Amino acid sequence: MKDIHIQAIRVHAYGGSDQLRLEEVPVPVPGPGEVLINIVASGVNPIDWKVREGLMQKPLPYIPGVEASGVVVALGEGVTDKKVGQAVYGAVDGSYTACAVAPGERLFPKPLHLSFEEAAAAGGAKTAWGALFDVGQLTKGQRILIHAGAGGVGHLAVQLAYHAGAYVIATSAAENAGFVKSLGASEVIDYKTAPFETQIAPVDVVLDTVGGDTLERSYQLVKPGGILLCLVKEPSPEKAAAAGIRAVWAGTKTLRAMQEVHKLLDKDLIRPYVRKVFAPLSSAAAAQDYSQLGGPGKGKIVLKIEE
């Protein structure tokens, strides 16, 4: 298979989206425990443009993308729970390509009721699950504020928190309020027309997926003894101590989070929404620009690679 070449997007130098080059690369070979998949769709995440700009670094050249859906083509040694021809989705490092290998344990059978695009948009759920439950220990009856309730992570966090029996408050643009309410938020705060902190009574938990000024203004909203979870940067221990709360970076991605989220997706108890689909693979730059510039919509951006 090494002699067969496929198309992939590669980055050879950090910079703008013009660094995303469509190239021919050899088909990767699955090692022990790995699965080779034909990728149908890749999720497009903010981390993709952050790494491309060099804000986080990877050895160059690299293929961008961290999650995908597709069809199993070959199994590495020791993989017994997947079958060639099976539709799967999950964590795939280097997913902007026609074919990639991934650890078998991080791929799950694609639920029949989800399209390949929707399955490729599900990754925010494991991030949200890890933050809410592994780190935040969110429980039934607690009040939680979720920033960016219409975003790739936020729209799944709202569903997970609602499903766990929490009272969910979320921020979003006014045009997304109906969508975020439909996911389970009891209150949706339009963060653009008035400061959100003037519109919300204190909560037990804040999940911040925005950072910057939003993080700075969130400490005051957490009840004493509560927790502020941030996915964008390390919160300030001094500000947390002054407010009498805990504030932590909550970006864990445990295998357990993936397994728990898969069960919920499979039972259709949570659902990923697709903000916009870009196709074909050569439109990767447009997809990353849309993500970086905050293109409108609800849910996750997806790059469609193969019909």
Ligand X SMILES: NC(=O)c1ccc[n+]([C@@H]2O[C@H](COP(=O)([O-])OP(=O)(O)OC[C@H]3O[C@@H](n4cnc5c(N)ncnc54)[C@H](OP(=O)(O)O)[C@@H]3O)[C@@H](O)[C@H]2O)c1
| Interface segment toward ligand X; rule CB under 6 A; list 54-62, 134-142, 169-177, 218-226 | 169-177
Minimum distance of ligand X from residue 167's CB (angstroms): 19
Q: Which stretch binds ligand X (CB under 6 A): 20-28, 135-143, 145-153, 258-266?
A: 145-153
Nearer to ligand X, 232 or 302 (CB): 232
To ligand X, the closest distance from the beta carbon of 78 in angstroms equals 28
Beta strands in 27-98 (DSSP E): 34-44, 67-75, 87-91
Regarding 97 and contact with ligand X (CB under 6 A), the answer is: no
Give the nearest distance from C-beta 242 to ligand X in angstroms: 23
Smallest gap, in angstroms, from Cβ of residue 49 to ligand X? Answer: 9
Q: What is the 3-state composition of the chain as percent helix, strand, coil, each rounded to the nearest 5?
A: 30, 30, 40
Q: Which stretch binds ligand X (CB under 6 A): 4-12, 30-38, 96-104, 208-216?
A: 208-216
Q: Is 171 in the site for ligand X (CB under 6 A)?
A: yes
In sequence order, what are the beta bridge partners of 38? 71, 99
Stretch that binds ligand X, among 12-20, 96-104, 172-180, 258-266 (CB under 6 A): 172-180
Counting contacts by CB under 6 A, is residue 109 touching ligand X?
Answer: no
Residue 232 contacts ligand X per CB under 6 A = yes
User: What DSSP letter does each residue of 267-305 carry, written as one string?
Assistant: TTSS---EEEEE-SGGGHHHHHHHHHHT-SSSSEEEEE-
Map 89-114 to HEC letters. Answer: EEECCCCCECEEEEEHHHEEECCCCC
Does residue 90 interact with ligand X by CB under 6 A? no
**Quick one: tokens of 188?**
């949706």
Q: How many residues does the chain have?
A: 307
Q: Which is nearer to ligand X, 38 or 288 (CB)?
A: 288
**CA-CA distance, 50 to 56, in Å (whole number)?**
6
Q: State how far Cα 191 lies from the chain centre.
A: 22
Which residues, other chains included, contact 90 with Cβ-Cβ below 8 Å and sequence gap of 6+? 67, 68, 102, 106, 107, 108, 258
Q: No. of H helices and E strands in the chain?
A: 9, 15
Position closest to ligand X via CB: 251
Stretch of 16-24, 113-121, 158-166, 207-215 contacting ligand X, by CB under 6 A: 207-215
Any contact of residue 231 with ligand X (CB under 6 A)?
Answer: yes
Locate 278 and state its tokens.
């870009």
| Site for ligand X, rule CB under 6 A | 45-47, 124, 127, 147-148, 150-154, 171-173, 176, 191, 209-210, 214, 231-232, 251, 291, 294
